[in-house]
């Protein structure tokens, strides 16, 4: 019998009423932002004096999520394999910090590559709740996960985790603790004040005694960063340009992809990689009755990826009420996995 039901949350209205699923231990909730939200975000971003679009848009079609998975396997892109290695090498200790019988929430779960080693090492976890904006990916991945872990309640939530969102309750068992896993240094996409805001929301979601495990990229030689975001095969360039395809197909815009190119660089003052799409010529782009003029060389800023020092991240965590308990890293100090507690 299908058991998965989509219900409304108090703070966000679901835009689809019900989904069926074959697995008994899987429930799916859909709070995907509407097309109108998307339109407003894009119009607002392109109307700024310095045009900017949020990185969330990268994942608004399946191709974007597929391209990100390809990036993770690139030789130049060290973060994914390094984070997995750190998790593998420290899984017992990480599991102890996370605790027994927990509800593990995951922000931006993607393909789940990293959470499986974590779920395998946890003691008697009660439920797993991936939250992601990429609906098709999330639902197919959650279905696989619920089959792989038949004794675990899997609760898939399509939502923007930066917005107000009350987590659905576990139905089968009451967890002794809630913890959030936020992998891939996705927190680095946020400006510091936005990161603090999300950490504060997370503190409310896990409550006192809860925790967060966060994968963060570390400051390093700019040469390494430069090649990670400018891979020889050009996959990151395709990923960046795909944002324009998404806007064309979902909002009826007329971006010509041949007239923009990918540009990524490390900004040492801000401690972040910046990704831009640069207009190759003077041009005008239309979305409905809006027209956006571009000069040659003008950019749309599509992503920041902040790199953190230890003290810098501690301050961020403390500003949201968390305590940074421990950072695990690799021998080359490329990446850090951090456990934050809330007392
Ligand atoms: C950089 S990928 C990381 C994927 C995976 N966690 C990893 O570490 O490889 C970011 C993931 O977060 C999702 N995502 C990005 N921003 C989001 C948001 N504001 N709300 C929900 N999901 C988001 C994307 O769909 C994507 O799956």
**DSSP-derived secondary structure for 260-297:** EEEEEEEETTTTEEEEEEEESS-EEEEETTEEEEE-TT
The reported pTM is 0.93
DSSP alpha helices (H): ranges in the chain? 35-47, 62-72, 78-89, 91-98, 115-121, 135-148, 192-206, 222-228, 235-251, 310-319
Give per-residue pLDDT as tens, 280-332.
999 999 999 999 999 999 999 999 999 999 999 999 999 999 999 999 999 99
How far does the centroid of ligand 1 lie from the alpha carbon of residue 305, in Å? 13
Query: Within the chain, which residues score under 50 in pLDDT?
Result: 1-22
Question: Atom 24 (ligand 1): residue with closest C-alpha?
Answer: 108
Strand pairing class (177-182; 26-30): unpaired
How far does the centroid of ligand 1 lie from the alpha carbon of residue 198, in Å? 14
**Distance between CA atoms of 164 and 169, rounded to whole angstroms?**
16
Determine the pLDDT at residue 21: 45
Question: Atom 18 (ligand 1): residue with closest C-alpha?
Answer: 160
Using a 6 Å cutoff on CB, does residue 130 contact ligand 1? no
How far does the centroid of ligand 1 lie from the alpha carbon of residue 202, in Å? 16
Task: Enter the DSSP assignment of 52.
Answer: B
Determine the pLDDT at residue 252: 97
Give per-residue pLDDT as tens, 107-118.
999 887 899 999
Sign of CA dihedral 134, 135, 141, 146: positive
108, 130, 137, 195, best to mutate for ligand 1 pocket (most atoms within 8 Å of CB): 108
Question: Atom 17 (ligand 1): residue with closest C-alpha?
Answer: 56
Determine the pLDDT at residue 23: 60
Query: Which residue, chain included where needed, has tokens 């009350």?
Result: 166
Using a 6 Å cutoff on CB, does residue 134 contact ligand 1? yes
Six-digit token string for 84: 């997995």
The closest alpha carbon to 306, from 178, 180, 189, belongs to 189
Using a 6 Å cutoff on CB, does residue 80 contact ligand 1? yes
Determine the pLDDT at residue 35: 81
């Amino acid at each position: 019998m299908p058991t998965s039901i989509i219900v409304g949350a108090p703070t966000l209205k679901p835009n689809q009423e019900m989904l069926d699923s074959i697995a008994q231990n899987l429930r799916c909730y859909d709070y995907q932002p509407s097309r109108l939200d998307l339109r407003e975000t894009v119009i607002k971003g392109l109307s700024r004096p310095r045009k900017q679009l949020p990185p969330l848009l990268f994942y608004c079609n399946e191709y974007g999520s597929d391209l990100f998975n390809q990036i993770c396997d690139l030789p130049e892109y060290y973060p994914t394999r390094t984070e997995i290695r750190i998790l593998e090498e420290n899984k017992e200790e990480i599991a102890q910090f996370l605790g027994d019988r927990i509800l593990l929430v995951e922000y931006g779960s993607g393909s789940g590559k990293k959470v499986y080693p974590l779920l395998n090492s946890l003691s008697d976890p009660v439920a797993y709740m991936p939250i992601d904006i990429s609906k098709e990916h999330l639902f197919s991945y959650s279905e696989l996960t619920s089959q792989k872990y038949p004794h675990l309640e899997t609760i898939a939530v399509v939502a923007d985790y930066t917005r107000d969102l009350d987590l659905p309750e576990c139905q089968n068992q009451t967890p002794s603790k809630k913890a959030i896993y936020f992998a891939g240094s996705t927190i680095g996409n946020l400006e510091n004040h936005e990161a603090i805001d999300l950490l504060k929301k997370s503190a409310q979601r896990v409550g006192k005694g809860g925790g967060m495990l966060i994968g963060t990229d570390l400051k390093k030689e700019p040469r390494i960063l430069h090649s990670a975001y400018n891979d020889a095969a050009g996959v990151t360039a395709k990923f960046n340009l795909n944002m324009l395809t998404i806007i064309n197909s979902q909002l009826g815009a007329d971006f010509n992809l041949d007239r923009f190119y990918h540009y990524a660089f490390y900004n040492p003052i801000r401690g972040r990689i910046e990704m831009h799409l640069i207009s190759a010529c003077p041009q005008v782009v239309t979305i409905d009755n809006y027209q956006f003029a571009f000069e040659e060389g003008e950019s749309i800023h599509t992503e920041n990826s902040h790199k953190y020092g230890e003290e810098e991240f501690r301050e961020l965590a403390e500003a949201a009420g968390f305590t940074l308990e421990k950072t695990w890293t690799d021998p080359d100090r490329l990446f850090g996995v951090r456990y934050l507690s809330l007392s």
